[in-house]
Structures are given as structure tokens and as C-alpha cells.
């Protein structure tokens, strides 16, 4: 390599920095420059693809690691004291001896860091050496290279089931339509396939792409960590610009599926890829206990300074009081003794060295070891293991386990967190007519029943393809039923059957059509005849919208898709209706639990309430008969009144797989499929749908207007294959769709249309009250002139770099106007298992529950009652207003009512159960600076809060405000990407690995599989972790103070000369070895109350909330106890040996031994649950002390000159006085602590003491005692129906509800709640 001047190197580095910091990058192909040196490469300023996540290098490990460890102030403190000990005038020990403790601590930490960094190095090496294929101009083909050899500007070929090595701009795929299917599970955990399409107009050498023909310039934005956005355009040689976005970007770490091969252009490599920019490593948070610990360390420092000042002043006074210079005071080299004041000044630093152990040097390392042990037990808890997903609890933040036991507020998402996020199609409304799908409701009711030996719902074996299907149960022979039941595998929870496709469990995919709607579709098909009149029938358009207006990817079951740790999918029945019609007789008795909307409409509304299946009231069965006719284009046709199955050689229901990005889309596509509108294929340019008649329609997809949080809707613009019209199908929330039908509707719509819109809105409101998720569907025919005009604006927005998202949204809003309403759907998102029990237990534990959801208030309130977030006896405050003045009035009114209750003398010793329901608009007003305090004052009095229609930004804002203003410990739990900000804003973030990918899990501190696991994680493991660690820290402070004070008391008898009566080595061993393992074992394994009692009596969790067990009082009581015990351990041996001729170490050895017994037995009193491990470690510590001390006394004669510990302990153990001193000292020292425990547990026992008594009972007696405890607690509850409600304020535009609310008594007027009282 040629020599370069330093100036050229610096100049090149500055140019590279400027190139990397530009907002836009111009990238060209590397092929014309292949073989040239790096300085002549056009993309040389951008980093290569090799990654390095290690923190250290082999040469710089020691200095870098020491620098990192010295960020901990305790290490600086001890190193400073060790250096101070090398100063002759102030040293207290041999200089080398003082270095031993801190060197051991630093070495252990360095070994741990080195091992972790070595594992990172191995992982980096494995990744960097993975193989990929890069195009070589010299060899005229793609050649195999390592990932680390990839550079920006290279062309990379990725084959099926291979991982993408860098961020690639997709230029070519083996698919003729330019589509590539991508699995992003390694990146965000989402198992569904995503479509990526090649940049249009670039590949001109089909079927094979020739990289050498690429002469364009790729202009892209600076790298960022946003996985959902990418701004780029390709400038062709003719200066024509082609826009590209995230839909054309293959991200590093993703896997290519269902595509033979792809070719991409490298735009970002190595640490600039989006996946690496999102890899921020583990999160380090400071727990509340650690913050309290740091304050107590400061108290210990102050205590140490006071003790050293006492020693310095005492030494000064002692020297002043001497009548003459004693012979044991050694003068300096000049023969002069220092002045008493100077000697006292030096003695201050000497005393710091002598008493340095008062600051527990090993405490921090012990805490880390204890937390590792706690995490081991949490992650290996079988109750927190999910067999279905083969996953267990993940602990990502290793240093906040104890915070799990101090939570006061929980902020939870609803969809996917409290619910399964398995969407089940329940009802629909088309053109103002409601179709309740009660047959499907009966099916779901049967699923919920415990499975019997005779009936199994899912996991059916393949059945022969039938020629028709019917609602008549008599068409199923007993032989077929018996044969079918005999072969199926059984599952207790059939709805949770795993599949290798996201959102594809039988619970979600199987839909029984409504009989009346089925007949309506059949009539529409018969009347249209497949001609141009089909556009006039809205029923067909409705189901076409269900099948088309989505981003569902269609794949075949036979397509190769290799997955790791995935269970095989259960084979679905080829005919859903046949599978369920056999269960109709049994389930007919359950139909009364599915009431239709009972409110009588003021306008004419049509309901198909008589569509429920009854055994003796069937109409003639609807049958489908297959004909043998085959059209010239090869499409199999069918006749009849029901959806047909296609030719199994082409497409069957068994080999179709729908890969949806959300469960809502999957449910709607499967619903359309149940009615015969089968989505067969989707490409970026077309979507193919099979009609019930068997005819295939290929719609040309012109544009897809994706869903965003501002518009709350998505649209697809297609060209109708029959009429050749431009048709826009849209779906979205009712409030975002209804406002686009006209402004206002009454002025634009005819009489029938007005009624249809009003009826549909009424049905949507009813669905919301039943807890269903609602979507409205519309259609719009766009004229040729309007489309051409709109297309110009759209292309300009696509090619833009700055403000691209805003421009795209503006063009979408421009097109989505004057829509025609087709209908609405109601989808059920079922509660997860044991959610009500979990929420009830958390509320009983004193934790305030907040649920933040984007659903409508009616839906959210219904779910709130179902999951026991709201109780019927609660005082529910409903807040909804339009301006700040009304919001302030509502808050004042509510606070006045709450204060009135609290001040009523009749309500002594009772609790008021208040719940708050508030929408997003009102929440924004309530969180404004002038109303924030009023809102928080009301919210902290509520045991549950339900926030509806809130945005992800509002979720995180609420968490931050409550945590910072109320100074409480908060926990946020969610499962989707929209919950990430909320999870990161809380003290503890918990992600649920649900149906929406792993974004929440990756951003969380802990990850669980189901919401029900939160109960044991907090009430059991959280309680244990906090109690164990708090008691261990208090014990550590006690232990060090008790031992150090032995040296301090001796200073009063040695002229405060910093002399020690215990050998220095034994003093070091005492804290490092003799008494180090017992407290660590105590912090890992102690169990004050069993898991059964902690879950049975959730109130026990309250002991950790607020100040908790580790507070100012318990800390100073332990310190005072340590002072007392040190006085006893010193003065009993002192009084025994007073006026004797024993030497210094003979005096100190029984003192050291008695102190060991006292400290260990003190811990024995604190241990609540003894195991074999406890006995082994406690007895082993005592045995180790005697073995080491005896060996040291026998071998180490001159280890610490001029002192001589030879044979000291051996002589002591031959003297009965030694045993008497140890026994008497230990008993007297521990007697107050023991008596304190006895009196406290007898006179004023705490709830934990009562709980420990329950643990001693047998199982049946314990359960009975827990029931009695809970019933006694419930006597203090107040029935909300007896509460008075304030009169409505005439000044409120939107009044507040203050009444006992039930799911059926919620009344709505538009989107606002009205005030009323319910008296029973």
C-alpha cells in the first residue's frame, strides 16, 4: 500500500464524515471500479458490512475495563484508601494487604466482563463469516463471499430461505410480477409474510437481471432506525426519477420466503443498517431500592467521618494528656515527635483506612449475584412457561427485579394484552340490514365449553371433498361422525391451536355463514349473471371490499417455508359448515346467551333475528351442487345458492394460506371466503378473487393507500375487470368513515340512503356495546378525469424526499371523499385466559389499573366489565367533553363528590371504589398544565381508569405524567409496536409476545406470554425479590457496622492509635469469605411466605409498596442494633480478660469468633424458610472459619510482622473460658433482637406473620383460612348503589356520569355520555 501523508489522511477522514452526515446520499454501482484501490472507490466513505459489538480489544481490555469500573464511586473510594495506605504517616496496614479486597472485587468484575465480551466476539465472528453472493464484473457472475466483504454499491443475490446480509434496494426477483416475500421474524418477531416489490422500470433484462446494465444513481436518506419508513429515488441516465420506499427495501436480518431468488443493491451496510441502528443493547435502569441504597451509603460515609473525627480528636487529647513521651512512640528521622494536632490530623486518615469496611465493598457484587439467582428462578418457573409457544419469561433488564415487588400503577394496552388478538368474525350490517350470524355465535359458545369424550372441535383429520354443503344436520351420517371423532386429536383449548401461519387458528378461520345473508348473495348472483349489472348490487361489493381492501398475502400450503421451533399446523376441515352443523342440536340451548340489539329503533330497521338455527324449525336446506361445465378460460363453474369449492388441483381451501399483517384483516378475508368470495392471489399490480359462482375476477391494483394513525382508514384503488371503472374500496373506523359520506349527510343523501346510514351507525353502536371491534366499508367510483388529475399529485408525492409522508397523506385524503357506504362488520377479540382473575388480584394487591386503548368508549367499557376492571358496584365517573371549561367543571364536580364521601362520618373504615372512564379528547384537555393537578388528584383516588380513543403518544404521555407527578412506581404492559413508547416510559416495561410481533418484547424489561402471568410475576416473584434483596442489604449494613465497631471501641483503650486486636488477614477474610455466602444465599433463596398464600391473599403485596420493608426506620434500627451487638461482643471479652496478661491477639480471637457466631445467628433469626442449602452454607461458613484460622495460626508465623498469630486459636480452643465467652456473648448480643421478634409477632403481628401461620396449616385448613381472611376484608367494602349522586350542573355542556354502571345501563348520545343515576 502506498504511503499517504497525514494531511491527506485527515482530509479524507473529514470528507468521509461530511459525506456520512449529509441528509441525502448519492450511491452508484461499484462494478465499473472493481479491482481499483479503496481511494478510487466512489462509495468509499460509507462503512463496510462487518459488525463489531464487542466493547474491548485484547490489548486495551485492562485499561478500558478499569476505566468503566471506576464509574462506580465505591470503587474509586476503596482504591483511594488503598493508595492512601501507602503513605507512611497514615498507613494502618501493610500497603500490600490493603490492596487485596479491592483487587479481588475488580478482578471478579473484569472476569465477568471479559466472558461477556468474548461471547459477543464469537457472535460477531459467526455473523461476519456467513456466506452471500456478490456480483463480480470480472467473473461475469455472482460469486460466494462473506458478509463482511459486502460494501455499499454492491449487487447481492439472495436465494429462498436465506437471510439478507445488508439493507438492499430490491431491483429484481424471480417472480414475474417483481414480488418478493419477506419474513421479518428475526427483526421484529412478526411471523407473517410481507410483500416487497422491485423498483419499477429498472430491470430491463428479464428474465435475468444484468447488474452491469445498471447505470442509474440511487439517492437515499441518511441511515435511521425507523423500520417502517425509507425515502429513496432512483435517477436514471435520462434524468427520469423513480420513487421507492420501504416496500422496496430488504432489511438486514430478514429472510426471503416463497421466492426463488432476488437481486438487490446495497444502500446501507454494517452498523448503518436499520437492524443494527435498532440494536441498542440491554437497558440499564436504576431500581428504586438501588437509589435508596445509595442514600444509605452516604449515611454510612457520614457515620464513618464522625467516627474518624472522634478518633482524631481522641488521639489529640490523649497525646495532650501524656505527662511525658512514652517509649513506644517512635520519633521521626530528626528525632522529633509531631505535634498532637498534626498527629491527630494524620490519625483521621489512618482511622478511615482502619474503619473502611464500614462501607460494604462486597455489597455491590453480592447484589449482582443475588439478582442473577433471582432471575434464574423467575425464568425457570414452570407456571410462567407457555407450552403452546414454547416460551418462558425473558428478563432483559437484569438490575430491576426488586422493582417488581413495589408496583403501584399498572398501565395496560387492551388489544392483544388483555385480549387474545385472535379476531373472530361475529356480525355484519349491509345496506342497513343487520345479520347477526347466530349460527357462528353458537359455534363459539360450543368452543368455550369443556371438551367431552364425544365431541372435539378442532384438529380434524382431512375429510373427503364433498359435492355440497347444507345447514341440515340430518345429512351427516353417524358412521362418518364416529369415524371422524375417532381419528382426531384432542385439545382442551381448541381455539389456541398453533399454526405456522399468523392469525390462522381454526377459531379465526372458520366462519358459519348467516343463512339469510347467504340467500341474499345467491339472489344477487342470480340476478347479475356476471354481467355489467354486477356493479349495482351492494352485497357483492361489500364482500369484494372485504376480500380486496387489505394487504393479505396469499401463499400455498405446499410452499417451502422453513421455520425454527414452529409446531405443525392442524389440518383444517375442507368444509366448515359440515364440521359445525353436527353440533347444532347440542348448542341450540345456548342461543339465549347471544341477544340481538334490544333497543327499538326510531326509524325502520331490518334485523335477521330469525336466522338462528333451531332443530325443529329449519327451512329447506340450502344445497350446492357441482356441475361438470368448464369454461373456455379454464375456470370451474358452479350452480346453487352457496359458495363452492374450486378444483382441488388448482386452489382448495386446504392449500390456501393467508399471511395477514393484522388479525383484523385475516378475520375479514376468511369471512369473505366463507361466503364464496375467495381471495386467490395478490401481486403488487393485481388481486384475484373467486366469486360464489366460480368465476375468477382479476382486479388491477392501481394504488394502495395504507392505514395511518391520522386517517384511521385504508383504501385500495382498483380497476374493475368487467366495467373497467376505477373503484376505490375503503375501510376504517366509523367516525373516520361517516364524515366522508357527505357534509352533512342529511343534505347530500336521499331518504333511503339517510336511513341506511343511520341504521348502520346504530348497528355499529350496538356492536361496540357488545365489545366488538367495528369497521365500516365504503365504495367510490372514480371518473377517468378525476383519476388522471389525482395521479399527477400522487406521483409527485412518491418521488419526494422531504415531507413525503405528509404529501402522501394529503393525496389520500384528496381521493377519499364522497364515499358510498356499503356496510359494517363486528369482530370479537376474546379475552385471554384468566384475565379477570388477574386484574381482580392486582386490584386487591393495592395496584391501580389503567387500561389505555384506541377502541370506542362503548367497546372499551364492555371489555372493562368483562375483565373486571370495572365492577357493577363501582362508582363510575364518565368524562367526555369538548372544551377546557367543561373539563374543569367535570373535574371539580367529581372531586367534590369524592371529598363529600370521605368527609362523611358514616363512611369511617370503609373504602370507596371509584373508576374513571375518559376519552382521548378529554384526556388531552385534562393533561393540560392548568388542569393536570386536578386530574391527577381525581385519578389517584380511582382504583381503575379506562382511557378510550387514545393515541400511542398519549399513552406514553400519561405514563410519564403519573410517574413523575405522583412519584409512584409504574409498570406498563403491551404487545404491539404502538405500545413501545408507553413501555419505555414506565419504571418497568413488560412486553407480551402475542400476535402483533415482538416490537414490544424487544423494547421491554421483561417479556411474558400471557397477561395472566403478570399475577405470579408480581405477587410472588416481585414480592420475594424485593423482600429478599431489601433484607439482604439491611443485613449487609448491619454486619459491617457490627464488625467495624469492634475496632472502634478498642481505640478508646489504645490511645486512638488505630491499633487492631485482630490480625489483618483474618479481618480481610472475615468479610470476603467467612460471612459472604450466607447473605447471598439469603437474598436468593429465602421465602418468607409460600407462593400459594401470596396468590391467595394478594393484599400481602402491599408490604412492598411505598416505603416498603427497606425504609428509614428499619435501616437505623439495624444500625443501632449493630452498635449494641458490637458493644456486647467487645466488652464481655474485655471484662473477662481485664487485668490479665493475655496478649493482643489472644484478646481479639474470642472477640472475632463471638462476632462471627453473632452475625451468622442474627441471619438465622431473619431466615424464614430453612432448606438443606441454608444449613450447608451456614455450617460450612463456621467450619471454614475454624479451618482457615487454625491453618493460618499454624503456618503463617511472619505474614504480618511484627505481630505473631502463631498457635493462637489452638491455645484458645483448649481453654474452657473461650467457649464460655463465645456462648455468653452471642446470647446476650442476640437477646434483644430475638425478644423484639417474639413480641412483635405476638402482640402486633403483621399480615406477613399471619401469612406464615397459614403456611403451617394443611392444605384444606389453609384454603378455609384464606377464605375467612378475604371475607373479613370484604366487610369494609361499600356498595356503590347506596351512594348519592350530585345533581347535574346546568352549566356543563357535557355533564359527568357519577353512578353505578353496568354493561347494559350505559347510555350514549352520539359519542358523549349523559348523566343519570341508577337506583336499584
With b for 16 or more beta-carbon neighbours within 10 A and e for fewer, the 722-746 pattern comes to eeeebbbbbbbbbebbbebbbeebe
The DSSP H or E segment spanning 973 is strand 970-974
Positive or negative: CA dihedral 1228, 1233, 1234, 1235: positive
According to DSSP, residue 535 is labeled G
Q: Strand pairing of 970-974 and 988-992?
A: parallel
CA nearest 456: which of 421, 528, 418, 506? 506
Neighbours of 239 (CB within 10 A): 7
Q: Is 413 designated active site? A: yes
Angle, CA 265 vertex, CA 263 and CA 268 arms, to 5°: 130
Neighbours of 1198 (CB within 10 A): 10
According to DSSP, residue 380 is labeled T
With cell 356441475, the residue in question is 627
**DSSP state letters, 226-268:** -TT---EEEE-TTS-EEEE-GGGEEPTT-EEES-SEEEEEEEE
**DSSP state letters, 983-1024:** HHHSSEEEEE--TT-SHHHHT-SEEESSTTHHHHIIIIIIHH
Query: Measured between alpha carbons, how far is 447 from 451 in angstroms, rounded to an integer?
Result: 8
Query: Measured between alpha carbons, how far is 672 from 970 in angstroms, rounded to an integer?
Result: 43
According to DSSP, residue 1284 is labeled -
882, 1294 contact by CB (below 8 A): yes
By the 10 Å C-beta count (0-12 exposed, 13-18 middle, 19+ buried), 911 is classed as exposed
Neighbours of 649 (CB within 10 A): 7
CA 425 to chain centre: 28
CA 254 to chain centre: 22
CA nearest 378: which of 832, 987, 1006? 1006
Q: How many residues does the chain have?
A: 1320
Query: Measured between alpha carbons, how far is 1045 from 1124 in angstroms, rounded to an integer?
Result: 10
974 bridge partner residues: 991
- Give the strand order in the sheet containing 988-992: 394-395, 1006-1008, 988-992, 970-974, 409-412, 848-852, 944-948, 914-919, 875-879, 1297-1300
Positive or negative: CA dihedral 1132, 1135, 1141, 1143: positive
According to DSSP, residue 1244 is labeled S
Query: Measured between alpha carbons, how far is 141 from 138 in angstroms, rounded to an integer?
Result: 8
Check 403, 413, 979, 1121 and give the catalytic one.
Answer: 413
Nine-digit cell at 1024?
A: 420475594
**1207's torsion region: left (phi>0), alpha (psi -120 to 50) or beta?**
left
According to DSSP, residue 700 is labeled E
Nine-digit cell at 1316?
A: 343519570
Query: Measured between alpha carbons, how far is 1255 from 1018 in angstroms, rounded to an integer?
Result: 20
**DSSP state letters, 739-799:** TTS-SSHHHHS-HHHHHHHHHHHHHHHHHHHTTEEEEEEEEEEEPHHHHHHHHHHHHHHHT
Residues recognised as catalytic: 413
Amino acid at each position: 500500500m502506498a504511503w499517504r501523508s497525514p494531511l491527506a489522511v485527515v482530509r479524507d477522514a473529514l470528507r468521509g464524515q461530511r459525506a456520512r452526515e449529509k441528509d441525502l446520499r448519492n450511491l452508484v454501482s461499484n462494478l465499473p471500479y472493481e479491482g481499483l484501490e479503496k481511494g478510487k472507490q466512489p462509495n468509499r466513505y460509507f462503512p463496510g458490512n462487518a459488525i463489531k459489538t464487542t466493547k474491548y480489544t485484547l490489548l486495551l481490555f485492562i485499561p478500558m475495563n478499569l476505566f468503566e469500573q471506576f464509574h462506580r464511586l465505591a470503587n474509586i473510594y476503596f482504591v483511594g484508601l488503598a493508595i492512601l495506605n501507602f503513605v507512611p504517616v497514615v498507613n494502618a496496614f501493610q500497603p500490600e494487604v490493603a490492596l487485596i479486597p479491592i483487587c479481588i472485587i475488580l478482578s471478579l468484575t473484569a472476569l465477568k466482563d471479559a466472558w461477556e465480551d468474548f461471547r459477543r466476539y464469537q457472535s460477531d465472528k459467526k455473523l461476519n463469516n456467513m456466506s452471500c453472493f456478490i456480483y463480480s464484473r470480472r467473473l461475469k457472475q455472482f460469486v460466494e463471499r462473506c458478509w463482511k466483504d459486502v460494501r455499499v454499491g454492491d449487487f447481492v443475490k439472495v436465494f429462498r430461505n436465506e437471510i439478507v446480509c445488508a439493507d438492499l434496494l430490491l431491483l429484481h426477483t424471480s417472480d414475474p410480477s417483481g414480488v418478493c416475500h419477506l419474513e421479518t421474524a428475526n427483526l421484529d418477531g412478526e411471523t407473517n409474510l410481507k410483500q416487497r416489490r422491485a423498483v419499477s422500470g429498472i430491470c430491463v433484462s428479464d428474465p435475468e437481471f444484468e447488474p452491469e446494465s445498471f447505470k442509474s444513481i440511487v439517492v437515499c436518506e441518511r441511515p435511521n432506525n425507523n423500520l417502517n419508513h425509507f425515502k429513496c429515488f432512483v435517477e436514471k441516465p435520462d434524468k427520469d426519477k423513480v420513487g421507492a420506499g420501504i416496500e422496496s427495501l430488504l432489511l438486514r436480518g430478514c429472510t426471503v420466503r416463497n421466492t426463488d431468488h432476488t437481486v438487490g443493491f446495497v444502500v446501507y451496510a454494517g452498523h448503518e443498517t436499520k437492524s443494527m441502528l435498532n440494536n441498542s443493547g440491554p437497558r440499564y435502569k436504576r431500581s428504586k431500592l438501588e437509589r435508596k441504597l445509595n442514600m444509605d451509603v452516604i449515611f454510612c460515609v457520614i457515620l464513618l467521618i464522625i467516627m474518624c473525627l472522634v478518633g482524631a480528636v481522641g488521639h489529640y487529647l490523649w497525646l495532650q494528656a501524656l505527662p511525658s513521651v512514652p517509649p513506644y512512640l517512635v520519633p521521626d528521622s530528626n528525632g522529633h515527635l509531631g505535634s498532637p494536632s498534626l498527629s491527630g490530623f494524620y490519625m483521621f486518615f489512618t482511622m478511615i483506612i482502619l474503619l473502611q469496611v464500614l462501607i460494604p465493598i462486597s455489597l455491590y457484587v453480592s447484589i449482582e449475584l443475588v439478582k442473577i439467582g433471582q432471575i434464574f428462578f423467575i425464568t425457570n418457573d414452570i407456571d410462567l412457561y407457555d407450552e403452546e409457544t414454547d416460551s418462558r419469561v425473558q428478563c432483559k433488564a437484569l438490575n430491576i427485579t426488586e422493582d417488581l415487588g413495589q408496583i403501584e400503577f399498572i398501565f395496560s394496552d387492551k388489544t392483544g394484552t388483555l385480549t387474545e388478538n385472535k379476531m373472530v368474525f361475529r356480525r355484519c350490517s349491509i345496506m342497513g340490514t343487520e345479520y347477526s350470524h347466530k349460527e357462528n355465535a353458537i359455534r363459539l359458545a360450543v368452543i368455550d365449553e369443556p371438551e367431552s369424550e364425544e365431541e372435539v372441535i378442532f384438529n380434524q383429520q382431512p375429510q373427503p371433498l364433498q359435492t355440497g354443503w347444507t345447514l341440515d344436520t340430518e345429512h351427516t351420517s353417524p358412521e362418518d361422525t364416529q369415524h371422524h371423532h375417532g381419528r382426531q386429536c384432542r385439545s382442551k383449548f381448541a381455539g389456541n391451536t398453533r399454526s405456522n401461519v399468523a392469525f390462522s387458528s381454526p377459531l379465526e378461520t372458520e366462519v358459519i355463514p348467516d343463512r339469510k345473508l347467504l340467500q341474499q348473495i345467491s339472489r344477487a348472483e342470480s340476478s347479475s349473471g356476471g354481467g355489467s349489472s354486477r356493479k349495482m348490487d351492494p352485497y357483492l361489493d361489500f364482500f369484494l371490499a372485504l376480500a380486496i381492501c387489505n394487504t393479505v398475502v396469499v401463499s400455498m400450503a405446499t410452499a417451502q417455508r422453513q421455520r425454527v421451533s414452529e409446531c405443525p399446523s392442524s389440518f383444517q376441515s375442507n368444509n366448515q359448515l359440515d364440521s359445525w352443523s353436527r353440533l347444532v342440536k347440542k348448542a341450540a340451548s345456548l342461543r339465549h346467551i347471544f341477544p340481538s340489539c334490544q333497543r327499538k329503533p326510531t326509524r325502520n330497521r331490518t334485523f335477521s333475528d330469525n336466522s338462528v338455527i333451531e332443530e325443529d324449525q329449519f327451512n329447506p336446506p340450502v344445497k350446492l351442487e357441482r356441475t361438470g361445465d368448464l369454461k373456455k378460460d379454464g375456470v370451474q363453474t358452479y350452480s346453487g345458492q352457496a359458495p363452492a369449492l374450486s378444483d382441488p388441483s388448482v386452489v382448495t381451501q386446504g392449500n390456501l394460506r393467508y399471511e395477514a399483517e393484522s388479525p383484523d384483516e385475516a378475520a375479514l378475508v376468511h369471512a369473505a371466503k366463507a361466503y364464496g368470495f375467495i381471495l386467490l392471489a395478490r401481486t403488487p399490480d393485481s388481486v384475484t378473487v373467486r366469486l360464489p359462482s366460480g368465476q375468477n375476477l382479476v382486479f388491477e391494483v392501481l394504488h394502495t393507500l395504507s392505514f395511518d394513525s391520522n386517517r384511521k382508514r385504508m383504501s385500495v384503488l382498483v380497476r374493475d375487470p368487467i366495467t373497467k371503472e376505477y373503484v376505490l374500496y375503503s375501510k376504517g373506523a366509523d367516525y373516520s368513515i361517516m364524515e366522508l359520506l357527505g357534509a352533512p349527510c342529511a343534505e347530500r343523501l336521499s331518504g333511503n340512503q339517510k336511513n341506511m346510514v343511520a341504521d348502520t351507525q346504530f348497528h355499529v353502536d350496538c356492536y361496540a356495546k357488545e365489545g366488538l371491534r367495528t369497521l365500516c366499508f365504503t365504495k367510490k367510483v372514480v371518473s377517468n378525469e378525476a383519476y388522471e388529475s389525482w395521479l399527477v399529485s400522487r406521483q409527485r408525492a412518491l418521488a419526494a424526499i422531504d415531507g413525503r409522508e405528509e404529501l402522501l397523506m394529503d393525496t389520500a385524503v384528496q381521493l377519499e371523499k364522497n364515499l358510498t357506504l356499503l356496510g359494517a362488520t363486528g369482530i370479537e377479540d376474546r379475552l385471554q385466559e384468566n384475565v379477570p382473575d388477574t386484574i381482580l388480584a392486582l386490584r386487591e394487591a393495592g395496584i391501580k389499573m389503567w387500561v389505555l386503548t384506541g377502541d370506542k368508549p362503548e367497546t372499551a367499557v364492555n371489555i372493562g366489565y368483562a375483565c373486571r376492571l370495572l365492577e357493577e358496584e363501582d362508582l363510575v365517573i364518565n368524562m367526555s367533553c369538548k372544551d377546557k371549561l367543561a373539563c374543569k367543571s367535570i373535574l371539580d364536580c367529581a372531586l367534590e363528590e369524592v371529598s363529600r364521601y370521605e368527609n362523611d362520618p358514616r363512611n369511617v373504615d370503609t373504602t370507596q371504589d371509584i373508576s374513571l372512564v375518559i376519552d382521548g379528547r378529554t384526556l388531552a384537555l385534562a393533561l393540560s398544565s392548568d388542569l393536570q393537578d386536578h386530574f391527577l388528584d381525581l385519578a389517584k383516588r380511582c382504583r381503575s381508569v379506562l382511557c378510550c380513543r387514545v393515541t400511542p403518544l398519549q399513552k406514553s404521555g400519561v405514563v410519564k405524567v403519573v410517574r413523575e407527578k405522583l412519584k409512584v412506581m409504574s409498570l406498563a404492559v403491551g404487545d404491539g409496536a404502538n405500545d413501545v413508547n408507553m413501555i419505555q416510559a414506565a419504571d418497568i416495561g413488560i412486553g407480551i409476545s402475542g400476535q402483533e410481533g415482538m416490537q414490544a418484547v424487544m423494547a421491554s424489561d421483561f417479556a411474558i406470554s400471557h397477561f395472566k402471568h403478570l399475577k405470579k410475576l408480581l405477587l410472588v416473584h416481585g414480592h420475594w425479590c424485593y423482600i429478599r434483596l431489601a433484607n439482604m442489604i439491611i443485613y449487609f449494613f448491619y454486619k459491617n457496622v457490627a464488625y467495624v465497631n469492634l475496632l472502634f471501641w478498642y481505640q478508646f483503650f489504645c490511645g486512638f492509635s488505630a491499633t487492631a486486636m485482630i490480625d489483618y488477614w483474618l479481618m480481610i477474610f472475615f468479610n470476603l469469605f467467612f460471612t459472604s455466602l450466607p447473605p447471598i444465599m439469603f437474598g436468593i433463596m429465602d421465602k418468607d411466605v409460600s407462593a400459594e398464600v401470596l396468590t391467595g391473599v394478594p393484599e400481602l403485596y402491599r408490604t412492598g409498596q411505598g416505603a416498603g420493608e427497606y425504609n428509614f426506620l428499619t435501616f437505623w434500627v439495624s444500625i443501632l442494633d449493630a452498635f449494641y451487638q458490637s458493644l456486647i461482643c467487645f466488652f464481655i471479652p474485655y471484662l473477662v480478660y481485664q487485668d490479665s496478661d493475655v496478649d493482643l491477639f489472644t484478646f481479639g480471637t474470642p472477640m472475632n469468633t463471638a462476632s462471627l457466631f453473632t452475625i451468622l445467628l442474627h441471619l438465622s433469626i431473619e431466615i424464614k424458610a430453612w432448606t438443606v442449602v441454608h444449613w450447608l452454607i451456614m455450617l460450612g461458613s463456621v467450619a471454614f472459619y475454624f479451618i482457615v484460622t487454625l491453618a493460618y495460626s499454624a503456618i503463617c508465623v511472619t505474614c504480618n510482622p511484627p505481630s505473631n498469630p502463631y498457635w493462637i486459636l489452638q491455645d484458645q480452643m483448649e481453654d474452657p473460658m473461650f467457649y464460655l465467652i463465645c456462648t455468653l456473648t452471642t446470647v446476650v448480643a442476640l437477646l434483644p433482637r430475638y425478644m423484639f421478634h417474639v413480641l412483635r409477632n405476638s402482640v402486633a403481628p403483621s399480615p406477613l406473620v399471619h401469612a406464615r401461620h397459614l403456611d403451617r396449616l394443611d392444605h384444606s385448613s389453609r384454603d378455609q383460612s384464606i377464605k375467612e381472611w378475604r371475607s373479613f376484608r370484604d366487610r369494609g367494602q361499600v356498595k356503590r348503589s347506596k351512594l348519592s349522586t350530585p345533581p347535574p350542573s346546568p352549566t356543563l355542556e357535557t355533564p359527568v356520569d357519577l353512578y353505578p354502571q353496568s354493561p347494559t345501563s350505559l347510555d350514549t348520545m352520539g359519542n358523549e355520555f349523559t348523566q343519570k343515576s341508577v337506583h336499584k
